[in-house]
Chain A
Amino acid sequence: MAYIEFQNVVKRFGDNTVLDHISASINKGELVTLLGPSGCGKSTLLRCLAGLEQVTEGKIFLDGREITNAPASQRCIGMVFQQYSLFPNMSVEQNIAFGLKMQKKSKDEIAKLVKNAMELVELDGKEKEYPGSLSGGQQQRVALARAIVTQPKVLLLDEPLSAIDAKLRKSLQGRIREIHKELGLTTIFVTHDQDEAMVMSDVIQLFYAGHIEQSGTPVSIYTAPATNFAASFIGSYNQVDSEAFQRMTGMETMPDSTVVIRPETITISRDLPAADDCLTLRGRVIDSLPRGNVLRYSVQVEDTVFRVDALFRSFHIFENGEEIYLSIPRHDCLSLSNERGA
């Protein structure tokens, strides 16, 4: 049995089924991300694991023990909430010490553990301050220190970085990852941001409409999406109807399917490419958007618009309206059945 097991977990709110027979396993020490759009059930699953919601059906196991109906206070799980939820009447060190007091640790031990936790999240010197006087990023780090200081079996992070600006978010992503490596704590992270999930996770569980659409490492999900939803959500894939694709390229495709192609696998050029293992299409640039070090072109080929990512090099820019060639490696054209996924 895995460290955490969800067995056929169903959660309904009235007639609304939020979790539809979820079965999943999480190994000890992994950093798993529950990724998906808003309302897909990822936070609900996290709250079921935390004990803040009761499951309607199914079982949850943690470290070989069934915890389906155990009270939240007895599950040995730490949690960081989206809005931090620090206790406003307590100072930073009192907030961090709260869980240790509940564990009835001695005063000396509490002081030592609080100090260590504050060092870990780089908050030294803020012991006596109150949450109201801290910035969002500092509050988030206090919440993180408060959750990990009790040495829980699992750390749950419910969209903890969603209210923080982009620069600080990146820095905290790195810090959380480092802390996870340092402590080896099994961590479940909820986010709707695919980039964040790619950066942070050992494993991604991709959610869609109350079920797990696909799970795997970030690389495997990114390079081999199993469904149309996975392709559209995780990597801005070009999605072309199989019949239209066959007409354009002559390549045999699976009936009633969609061909998905990552934008960065397509090469754009003025001259006819010569590679044998590539499909070649003739099109016209209709738009280009700079995205950091990448330039994203929109290229019209018959009735289909392809998104193409090319490295942003000032001496190699294609103008709108320019006739160009697209070269697509055959092995990067994935055919996905239309029967499953959106």
Chain B
Amino acid sequence: MNKKANIFPRVFLVLVGIYLLLPFGMTLIYSLFVEWTDVLPHGFTLRNYADLFSDAEFWACIGRTLVLCAVSVMLTIFILLLAMYVVIIVDRRLAKFMQLVCMIPYALQGVILSIGIISIYSGTGTILSNRMLMLFGAYTILVLPYIYQGIRNSINAIDVNTLLQAAEMLGCGKFRAYVQVVIPNIFSGILISALLAESIVFGDFVLANNIAGNNYQNIQVFLNRRMFRSSGLASAIVVIIFAVVFIITGLVLKLQGKEREEK
């Protein structure tokens, strides 16, 4: 009876895993064969990958996407941590206002957000009318709710006030206490929300295409352009996007695990 009860969750987990990995597996298979018009594909080839890896534009797009991810996510984390400091130290009542502001991007569709940003900033003649900077700004807005939720939940999970007061009693100023005591204790939450945000930026096409297009081509725009040329190549790009996101996530989680082990 017990054995049966133990097996069921495992079987369920495996089935869910297969369901989630099936599209990825199919895309991988598709990218490795010349044709798939029958039940089974035929004509195994690595040509799509060889073409892709020898394409300098592909690497440039991967690089641009990573920069977009890193800059926008870090900028959002920085802004939110400062804002949360003000909420904690100055006035807790500001938290409601901040939550409202941070939740607005949830309600905005990519098309509306991109058109709104373009209509406000383009042609203003300021530095913000630069399409590349506009895109960085747009992503900073896009990931705001995800990172806010992560930071807020982590802060709520620890007794911030008492930790700050304990640090103050040891001669530490408020801001320094926030940086040295509170932030390290919510680091896991920040990291997880950053990973979520990073995958959202990595997978975005609408904002990148509408705001920057060819001016600052990211991997999704690159995928869109190549899709019409060869479906095998497009599948190979999707597989690599998956792999890159997977590697980044794995690395960060491994680092986090190592840190926990040391503790």
For residue A55, CB closer than 8 A to chain B, the reply is no
Q: How far is the CA of A199 from the CA of B185 in the complex (A)?
A: 38
Which of the residues B166, B172, B173, B263 comes within 8 Å of A85, measured between beta carbons? B166
A83:B162 contact, CB within 8 angstroms: yes
User: Could you tell me the distance in whole angstroms from the C-beta of A101 to the nearest C-beta in chain B?
Assistant: 9
Contact indicator A72/B263 (Cβ below 8 Å) = no
Interface centre among A73, A77, A99 (most CB of B within 10 A): A73
Q: Does any Cβ of A come within 8 Å of B181's Cβ?
A: yes
**Which of chain B's residues have a CB closer than 8 A to the CB of A130?**
263
Q: What's the Cα separation between A89 and B182 when bound, in Å?
A: 9
Complex alpha-carbon distance, A147 and B171, angstroms: 11
Nearest chain B residue, comparing its CB with the CB of A104: B171
Q: Are A89 and B184 in contact (CB under 8 A)?
A: yes
Residue-by-residue, is B161-199 near A (CB-CB < 8 Å gives 1, otherwise 0)? 011011111111110000001001101000000000000
A71–B185 alpha-carbon span in the complex (Å): 24
A52-B165, A72-B165, A88-B185 as given contacts; A83 in contact with B159, CB under 8 Å:
yes
**With known contacts A81-B162, A85-B165, A87-B163, A102–B170 Cβ distance under 8 A:** yes
- B163, A85: Cβ atoms closer than 8 Å: yes
Interface residue A50 (Cβ < 8 Å from any Cβ of B)? yes
Indicate if the CB atoms of B171 and A73 lie closer than 8 Å: yes
In Å, the complex CA distance between A91 and B184 comes to 13
B181 touches A73 (CB 8 A): no
B165 with A81: CB separation less than 8 A: yes
CA gap between A132 and B158 in the complex, in Å: 13
**Cβ contacts under 8 Å, A87 to chain B:** 163, 166-167, 181, 185
Q: Interface residues of A toward B: which range? A: 20 to 34
A261 CB-CB contact with B under 8 Å: no
Tell me if A78 and B172 are in contact (CB < 8 A). no
Q: Nearest Cβ in chain B — how far from A93, in angstroms?
A: 13
Interface members, chain B 245-263 (any A CB < 8 Å): 263
Question: Is A43 in contact with chain B by the CB < 8 A criterion?
Answer: no
In whole angstroms, how far apart are the Cα atoms of A256 and B131 in the complex?
87
Instruction: Report the bound CA distance from A79 to B104 in whole Å.
Output: 42
Instruction: Please determine whether B166 and A102 come into contact, CB atoms closer than 8 angstroms.
Output: no
Given the complex of chains A and B, what is the CA–CA distance between A72 and B169 in angstroms? 6
A72–B172 Cα distance when bound, in Å, is: 9
By CB atoms of chain A within 10 A, which of B162, B184, B263 has the most?
Answer: B263
Q: Whole-angstrom distance between the alpha carbons of A150 and B158 in the complex?
A: 25
Known: A73-B173, A130-B263. A88 touches B158 (CB 8 A): yes
User: Do B171 and A103 have beta carbons less than 8 Å apart?
Assistant: yes
Please tell me if the beta carbons of B172 and A147 are within 8 angstroms of each other in the complex.
Answer: no
User: Are the CB atoms of B169 and A77 closer together than 8 Å?
Assistant: yes
A107 to B7, CA, bound (A): 55
Task: Point out which of B167, B170, B187 has the most chain A C-beta atoms below 10 A from its C-beta.
Answer: B170
Instruction: A71 to B169: give the CA distance in the assembly, Å.
Output: 9
Q: How far apart sit A78 and B163, CA to CA, in the bound complex (Å)? A: 14
Contact of B169 (CB < 8 Å), options: A78, A86, A88, A132: A78
| Cβ of A245 under 8 Å from chain B | no
Which residues of chain A are within 8 angstroms of B174 by Cβ–Cβ distance?
Answer: 73
Min CB gap B175→A, angstroms: 11
Question: Contact check: which of A50, A83, A98, A147 meets B167 at CB < 8 Å?
Answer: A98
Q: Which residues of B contact A102 (CB under 8 A)?
A: 170-172
Q: How far is the CB of A122 from chain B (nearest CB, A)?
A: 22
**A296 within 8 A of partner (CB):** no
Inter-subunit contact A150/B170 (CB<8 Å): yes
Interface residue A262 (Cβ < 8 Å from any Cβ of B) = no
Contact with B along A225-237 (1 / 0, CB 8 A): 0000000000000
Binary per-residue interface labels of chain A (65-83) against chain B in the complex, 1 for a CB within 8 Å, 0 otherwise: 0000001111001110101
> Using a CB-CB cutoff of 8 Å, which residues 169-203 of chain A contact chain B?
none
Query: Residue A211 at the B interface, CB < 8 A?
Result: no
Q: With an 8 A cutoff between CB atoms, is A307 at the interface?
A: no
Whether the pair A98, B170 counts as a contact (CB closer than 8 A) is yes
With both beta carbons as reference points, the residue of chain B lying nearest to A133 in the complex is identified as B263
Does A146 touch B at the CB level, under 8 Å? Answer: yes
Across-interface contacts of B158 in A (CB, < 8 A): 88
Query: Is A79 within 8 A of B169, CB to CB?
Result: yes
- Give Cα distance in the complex from A327 to B169, angstroms: 54
Give residues 96-138 of A contacting B (CB, 8 Å): 98-99, 102-103, 130, 132
- Shortest CB–CB separation between residue A96 and chain B, in angstroms? 10
Judge whether A79 and B166 touch: CB under 8 Å.
Answer: yes
Cβ of A52: which chain B residues have Cβ within 8 Å of it?
Answer: 165, 168-169
CB distance from A22 to the nearest CB of B (A): 21
Cross-chain contact of B166 among A71, A77, A81, A103 (Cβ < 8 A): A81
Query: With a CB–CB cut-off of 8 A, which chain A residues contact B172?
Result: 73, 98, 102
Q: How far is the CA of A130 from the CA of B259 in the complex (A)?
A: 13
- Asked if residues B162 and A50 are in contact (CB atoms below 8 Å), the reply is no
29 CB < 8 A contacts A-B: A50-B165, A52-B165, A52-B169, A71-B173, A72-B165, A72-B169, A73-B168, A73-B174, A77-B169, A78-B169, A79-B165, A79-B169, A81-B166, A83-B159, A85-B159, A86-B166, A87-B166, A87-B181, A88-B158, A89-B184, A89-B263, A98-B167, A99-B170, A99-B171, A102-B172, A130-B263, A132-B263, A146-B170, A150-B171
A-B pairs with the 3 shortest C-beta distances? A99-B170, A102-B171, A85-B166
